[in-house]
Homo-oligomer: A and B are copies of this chain.
Amino acid sequence: MFPASDTVLVAAPAATAVFTAVLTGGPVSRVRLARRLGLSSAAVTKAARPLIERGYLHELAATDRTGPGAGRPASPLAVRADREFFVGVKITADELIGVVCDLRAEVRATARRPLADPAVDGVLTDVGRLVDDLLDAVPEHRARVRRLGLSLSGDVDRTTGLVRYSPFLHWRDVPLGHRAAEATGLTVTVENDVKALTAAEHWFGEGVGAESFALVTVGTGIGCGLVVNGRLVSGSYGVAGEIGHIAVDAAGPDCHCGGRGCVEAIAGTDALVAQARERTGRPDLGFDEAVALARGGHEAVRAVFTRAGGAIGCGIAAVANLVGPTRIVVSGEGLAAYDLFDTPIRTSFERQAFGAAARCPLSIRPLPFEEWARGAAAVSIQSLVLP
């Protein structure tokens, strides 16, 4: 998080627990909070007081759920969603997608901007313009925004804000956090885009309260966000969830990462297009055309998608066999061709999932790029409480 001088909102364990519980769990009474967190009522009140004073939490109107004569009515604590706003931007190879979210990660505004130049300076300039576009539209947002979350695919060190490697932007060792903080004047978080999307699901989506789940994204990159034992897995060396770089075919193609037979080298969008071009002898074939050919019954192109689905299914089975998530959500822009992938993904998952791991349900949920930008904002919201 940059600049480092912008300290977190809460640091004491009890205050962090109270704020996080109200933020992710919706309005909740002090009594329930105390019970759930193993704190005394006095400790909850003490932890909440400065957050109320600073306007982040407030007490809802007293409700009397327990009937007459049952003592003091409960006044649930709730988040004041418009206390602070957060900009989230997902950086792709050719476009920036931005959102403004409130403290509850509800999207308040969206904007997109084509990326003129994938070099670092060009991206920073365009990020600055997109942030201005987003904030100029609503004075209230401009007045109450302090933080910007960025997300992009590749090897990102969230702690230092360093982009170690971004294959699509051809970046290596870019201190994006520092540079974006200088460029925008905001406090910046940087996270891998899949981990950011998983963070949004974990704190504000269907992952709330889940002990473990996995979010697999299929597209140009193939990635995976993992929550295990109730927390996002970030990896001791900043690398985790790289399902796209699991080797599933010893005779498979070389991957841009230096590996061989990686899931992404077989089933990433670029790999699919390259294989479809080779099978058809049409060097100009695009992704949509390849999908149309496969749907139209072109056997050789259809086989490309079938092989890809098989590779993805093997990767998902590896996740299930290693960490055993309660459920696995599959999403990403590659899902536009899901009708071609669906059966081979499920067939190879069921074949490779070991024993009871095959009981893990796979659910499919398309997510537009704005949801990915919301993920970047969610990481920024998390930085209020996480060091």
Using a CB–CB cutoff of 8 Å, the interface residues on chain A facing chain B are 13, 38, 155, 157, 164-165, 211-212, 224, 226, 228-231, 233-243, 245-252, 257-262, 310-311, 314, 317-326, 348, 351-352, 354-357, 359-360
Copies of this chain held together in the complex: 2
- Asked if A233 and B323 sit within 8 Å, CB to CB, the answer is yes
Most B CB contacts (10 A, CB to CB) among A231, A248, A250 go to: A250
Complex Cα distance, B320 from A26, in Å, reads 35
Q: List the B residue with the shortest CB-CB distance to A224.
A: B322
Out of B249, B314, B323, name the residue touching A226 (CB < 8 Å): B323
Q: How far is the CB of A262 from chain B (nearest CB, A)?
A: 8
**A226 neighbours in B (Cβ, 8 Å):** 322-323
Complex Cα distance, B358 from A44, in Å, reads 44
**A212 neighbours in B (Cβ, 8 Å):** 236
- Asked if B249 and A165 sit within 8 Å, CB to CB, the answer is no
- Asked if B321 and A322 sit within 8 Å, CB to CB, the answer is no
Complex Cα distance, B322 from A212, in Å, reads 14
Complex Cα distance, B239 from A360, in Å, reads 10
**A259 neighbours in B (Cβ, 8 Å):** 317, 351-352, 354
Q: What are some 18 contacts across the A-B interface (CB < 8 A)?
A: A164-B355, A165-B355, A228-B228, A233-B324, A235-B357, A236-B326, A239-B354, A239-B355, A242-B357, A245-B317, A246-B318, A247-B352, A248-B261, A250-B261, A257-B355, A260-B351, A318-B318, A322-B323
Given contacts A229-B231, A260-B351, 6 further A-B contacts (CB under 8 A): A238-B324, A239-B321, A239-B354, A242-B357, A250-B311, A259-B352
Q: List the B residue with the shortest CB-CB distance to A351.
A: B259
- Asked if B249 and A249 sit within 8 Å, CB to CB, the answer is yes
Knowing A351-B258, A351-B259, A352-B259, the reply to whether A246 touches B321 (Cβ < 8 A) is yes
Q: How far is the CB of A97 from chain B (nearest CB, A)?
A: 24
- Asked if A237 and B324 sit within 8 Å, CB to CB, the answer is yes
- Asked if A355 and B229 sit within 8 Å, CB to CB, the answer is no
**A321 neighbours in B (Cβ, 8 Å):** 239-243, 245-246
- Asked if B324 and A239 sit within 8 Å, CB to CB, the answer is yes
**A323 neighbours in B (Cβ, 8 Å):** 226, 228, 233, 235, 240, 322-323
Q: How far is the CB of A265 from chain B (nearest CB, A)?
A: 11
Complex Cα distance, B357 from A245, in Å, reads 11
Q: List the B residue with the shortest CB-CB distance to A320.
A: B239
Q: How far is the CB of A202 from chain B (nearest CB, A)?
A: 12
- Asked if A236 and B352 sit within 8 Å, CB to CB, the answer is no
**A246 neighbours in B (Cβ, 8 Å):** 246, 314, 317-318, 321-322, 352
- Asked if A310 and B233 sit within 8 Å, CB to CB, the answer is no
Q: How far is the CB of A318 from chain B (nearest CB, A)?
A: 5
**A164 neighbours in B (Cβ, 8 Å):** 355-356
Q: List the B residue with the shortest CB-CB distance to A210.
A: B236
- Asked if A237 and B351 sit within 8 Å, CB to CB, the answer is no
- Asked if B324 and A322 sit within 8 Å, CB to CB, the answer is no
- Asked if A359 and B324 sit within 8 Å, CB to CB, the answer is no
